Amino acid sequence: MEGAVPLTWFLVLRAFSSGCTALTGVEAISNGVPAFKPGEARNASITMGWMAGILGTLFLGITVLAWGLHVTPVENETVVSQIARTLFGTGLFYYLIQGSTIAHPGTGREHLVRRLPRLASLLSRDRYAPRQLTTQGDRLVFSNGILVLGGLAALLIVLFSGETHALIPLYAVGVFISFTLSQAGMVRHWLLDHGAGWRWRLAINGTGAVVTAVVTVVIAVTKFTHGAWIVVLLIPLMVMGFRAINRHYEALADELSLEHLEDEPPVTNTVLVLAGDLHMGVVQALRYAQSLSPNPKAVYVEIDPSRTLRLEERWAKGGCGVPLVVLSSPYRSVLGPLFSYIERIKSQAPHGVITIVIPEFVPRHWWQHVLHNQTALLVKGAMLFRRGIVVVDVPFHLRS
């Protein structure tokens, strides 16, 4: 027969793996155990049994019908559509079956939207994912997780041009890796914590782990060039990312712990006001600085000497009695001379705190921000990563 290939063990394994892909979705029961009525585990097991029976009956029935009706896969029509058209024609029942087939992925997507953000929140709670994923929105759903999921789904659709056949290997490899890990985890559980009937439970979970591992390897090998390589590469990277996030949160918790609390010498506070000119916004910042310290200083980075002379003349009249420190900048850099001056202060008082007061005027409309330089934003960003420095922003809101 034209197009026929020899029946080999690899072909059987590939067909078996492709068939197993259709069984994914039963994990929805295990993910939703807390939603069942008490006792949750027993009710979930009963539901899982019914689902397995329905799936087995469904697939065996489709297989028998396809065999008996001599239905073969074609490019432009599904096997289910061919069977329904052969049995019922193109009447109402045919379109009912087609509608049910279309609705099925919708329920899968609905399950994904509800369960994956919840799973991400559990990872976040255990410090393996960003904490923002534990936040529930005003609709009592994990809004951040849904947004991340939607963004990643849109990215996959764009990258694969919406080809579901190209996306299935990604889904299948990821699902069967999780199946294998969960079954292997149960094997370890029965080996360490012997319970009633643990031997036959160990045999069932061990067999399941082996079978799902074989399916994972076969799918990964046969579909490697069709997109499975992305998951094969991405999962180790995700694991390393999760571990890095966990190490960060563990280190953060250790540093913030009150166990490190000890007596320290009194803190001295040096208040500096950054001034690029003298106007009402700077005057407001100077007055605020005087509320923090009896002897604040204003700092001006000199880029144009002619402007410095004019500023000093005006400062004598409107500087609120705050002394002005002029820092020379021959290379027209603002941050370099400022950091050097701050380091000199810190060398004199290593345990002291330097408070940088930054005057910043705020336009009335958002689009007016692009009409002004963002020196204050640049300075705030540079100061953020330096120890012993507190940055205070004093906004001056423009009326016009």
Helices (H) and strands (E) in the chain, counts: 13, 5
- Whether residues 294 and 391 share a domain: the answer is yes
- Whether residues 242 and 283 share a domain: the answer is no
The full DSSP string for 280-297 is HHHHHHHHHHHHH-SS-E
The pLDDT value recorded for residue 1 is 46
Task: Identify the domain containing residue 258 by its residue range.
Answer: 160-262
Whole-angstrom distance, CA of residue 179 vs CA of residue 69? 35
In percent, how much of the chain has pLDDT > 70? 87
| Domain end point (choices 208, 236, 262) | 262
- What angle (nearest 5°) sits at the alpha carbon of residue 67, between those of residues 61 and 72? 110
Sheet strand arrangement including 353-362: 324-328, 297-302, 269-274, 353-362, 389-397
- Whether residues 258 and 273 share a domain: the answer is no
pTM: 0.63
Three-state DSSP state, 279:
coil
The DSSP output letter for 258 is G
The pLDDT value recorded for residue 55 is 80
Whole-angstrom distance, CA of residue 258 vs CA of residue 344? 31
The verdict on residue 72 lying in a domain is no
The pLDDT value recorded for residue 357 is 92
- pLDDT 10s per residue in the chain (400 long)? 445 667 677 777 667 666 666 666 666 676 667 777 888 888 888 888 888 888 888 888 888 888 888 888 777 788 888 888 888 888 888 888 888 877 666 555 555 666 678 778 888 888 898 888 887 776 667 788 888 888 888 887 888 776 766 677 777 777 788 888 889 999 999 998 887 888 888 999 999 899 888 888 887 887 777 667 777 888 889 899 999 999 999 998 888 888 877 777 777 889 999 988 888 888 999 999 999 998 999 999 888 788 888 888 888 888 888 999 999 887 778 888 888 999 998 888 887 899 999 888 888 777 776 776 677 788 888 888 888 899 998 888 887 6
347, with CB counted inside 10 A (0-12, 13-18, 19+), is exposed
The verdict on residue 252 lying in a domain is yes
pLDDT tens, position by position, 343-358: 998 888 887 899 999 8
Sequence-separated (6 or more) residues with CB below 8 Å from residue 318: 278, 283
The verdict on residue 367 lying in a domain is yes
- Whether residues 336 and 257 share a domain: the answer is no
The pLDDT value recorded for residue 288 is 92
- Whether residues 273 and 196 share a domain: the answer is no
Candidates 123, 140, 293; CA nearest to 132 is 123
The verdict on residue 2 lying in a domain is no
The pLDDT value recorded for residue 256 is 84
- Whether residues 273 and 317 share a domain: the answer is yes
The pLDDT value recorded for residue 298 is 92
On whether the CB atoms of residues 270 and 355 are closer than 8 A, the answer is yes
What residues does 258 pair with on adjacent strands? none
The verdict on residue 50 lying in a domain is no
- Whether residues 249 and 322 share a domain: the answer is no
The verdict on residue 138 lying in a domain is no
On whether the CB atoms of residues 41 and 242 are closer than 8 A, the answer is no
- Whether residues 280 and 226 share a domain: the answer is no
Whole-angstrom distance, CA of residue 213 vs CA of residue 178? 10
The verdict on residue 361 lying in a domain is yes
On whether the CB atoms of residues 352 and 264 are closer than 8 A, the answer is no
The verdict on residue 112 lying in a domain is no
Residue 331 sits in a domain of what CATH number? 3.40.50.620
What residues does 355 pair with on adjacent strands? 271, 390
- Whether residues 177 and 214 share a domain: the answer is yes
Whole-angstrom distance, CA of residue 268 vs CA of residue 351? 8
The pLDDT value recorded for residue 27 is 65
| Domain end point (choices 216, 243, 262) | 262
pLDDT tens, position by position, 231-290: 788 888 989 999 999 999 999 888 888 887 777 777 788 999 998 888 888 899 999 999
- Whether residues 224 and 184 share a domain: the answer is yes
| Domain end point (choices 210, 239, 262) | 262
- Whether residues 247 and 306 share a domain: the answer is no
Task: Please give the tally of structural domains in the chain.
Answer: 2
- Whether residues 250 and 276 share a domain: the answer is no
